[in-house]
Chain A
Amino acid sequence: MSPLCPILRAAGSLEDYRRDALPAPQRRILRDHLAACAECRGLAAAQDPTMLFARPFSAEELPEEDARRILANVRTAVAFAETERRIRRSSRRRFAGAAAAAAAFGALLLMTPGGGSDRVELAAARPTPSATGDASAAAPSELASRAVQPAALTAETDGLPTDATVYEWSPGAGREEPRVVWIVDRGLDI
């Protein structure tokens, strides 16, 4: 190193710099000086060519058009990711809703007097995939004759997509009492 350069002598030795042993302020002084002084830079590089890189680098100036293109691509990618996330979230919600409905239905069946034994009958009354279109005709009559008492339980699929079943439960069959209706995904049906 140039013995004539007091700045570098004050900053510390190049050896310390290379060993990463210089404190941050001295390191900064040394780098700034090497960036500014061609003579010292040449001498430092002659000792160790990796000292050529010991200087603050300016960030690469990006053409405005490239920066705009990157921003536009990021915007598109983010919009796509958000749409995907929304779809995932809504299908998770649908799944959770269907599962909750199925669980509530099961719990109600168990709570109904004689509900436990009716489960088999309910399974029998459930429309088969081939009978999906007109299950409403068979299910209410079968269930009315042998299903839960005093409740009436019906399974209907008329006018619905083939992957859903509607169950209706009337606690006071024949009387004007509130009814409970479930729409259950066939894949989750119990």
Chain B
Amino acid sequence: MELVYSQRQSRQESAELPDRDLAVRARGGDMVAFETLVTRKTSAVVSLARRIVGNSEDARDVAQMVFLRVWNEIHRYDEKYSLNTWLYRIATNLSIDFLRSSRSRERAHGATLHIVREREESTASDATRNAEDAELARLFETVSGRLSEKQKAAFVLREMQDCETREIAEILGCGESTVRNHLFNARRILRREIGRLFPEFLRGRPLA
């Protein structure tokens, strides 16, 4: 009884702590702090992974791998740095690895076909912000198939996760100029793919 009460109290305490403190506690072997961190970050990690790997099912698998990696590597976490950057780094790298596997490629292809169909069937009544986000996310999944893993990761981190270029360089383990290069090329390819698959987005272009 006492143990249950103490665990509940510990969970309540953990729920109020900032990310960094939770990570420090988890580094000391505190499982409750680690689980609080998992609960708090699951949505963000799944979102990021989904945008890179291209489908929700794989994104959930990647998220589990991410948190297991976090637990195994937590002793390396330096609280001087942002936990999100560290977490995104792990999530991005595992998503890229996943995307590189042939199985994932096949699934992404299947998902893309499904998404195109889904988009064709979707109604124009998506007025809310979340619906627009979902629509844009689907559009991105459809047109991003031609991007390299790094280009895709850089674009997702910059545009969808709103990370700084410096942060992306840290996450991808490259220089800032390389990140800018990835972004430039990603934009070029996406522009071409949107124009090819969804020319309606180009209608009304004033300087065409």
The answer to whether A and B come from one shared complex is yes
**Residues of A that sit less than 8 Å from B by CB:** 18-20, 24, 31, 35, 42-43, 45-50, 52-62, 66-67, 69-71, 73-75, 77-78, 81
A62 near B46 with CB under 8 A, answer: yes
A52 — which chain B residues lie within 8 A by C-beta? Answer: 136, 139, 194, 201
User: At the interface, yes or no: B27 with Cβ under 8 Å from chain A?
Assistant: no
Alpha-carbon distance A70/B158, docked complex (angstroms): 26
B38 near A71 with CB under 8 A, answer: yes
How many B residues face the partner with a CB closer than 8 A? 49
Known: A20-B165, A53-B160, A66-B60. A45 touches B201 (CB 8 A): yes
B130 near A58 with CB under 8 A, answer: yes
Alpha-carbon distance A78/B194, docked complex (angstroms): 42
Alpha-carbon distance A20/B187, docked complex (angstroms): 11
Q: How far apart are B128's CB and chain A's nearest CB, in angstroms?
A: 11
B15 — which chain A residues lie within 8 A by C-beta? Answer: none
Which residue of B has the minimal Cβ distance to A61? Answer: B43
Known: A48-B187, A58-B129, A61-B43. A24 touches B64 (CB 8 A): no
Alpha-carbon distance A130/B184, docked complex (angstroms): 74
A60 near B46 with CB under 8 A, answer: yes
A31 near B47 with CB under 8 A, answer: no
Contact of B140 (CB < 8 Å), options: A20, A46, A53, A77: A53
A50 near B191 with CB under 8 A, answer: yes
Q: Give 4 nearest A-B pairs by CB, closest first.
A: A60-B47, A46-B205, A49-B194, A53-B159
A71 near B39 with CB under 8 A, answer: yes
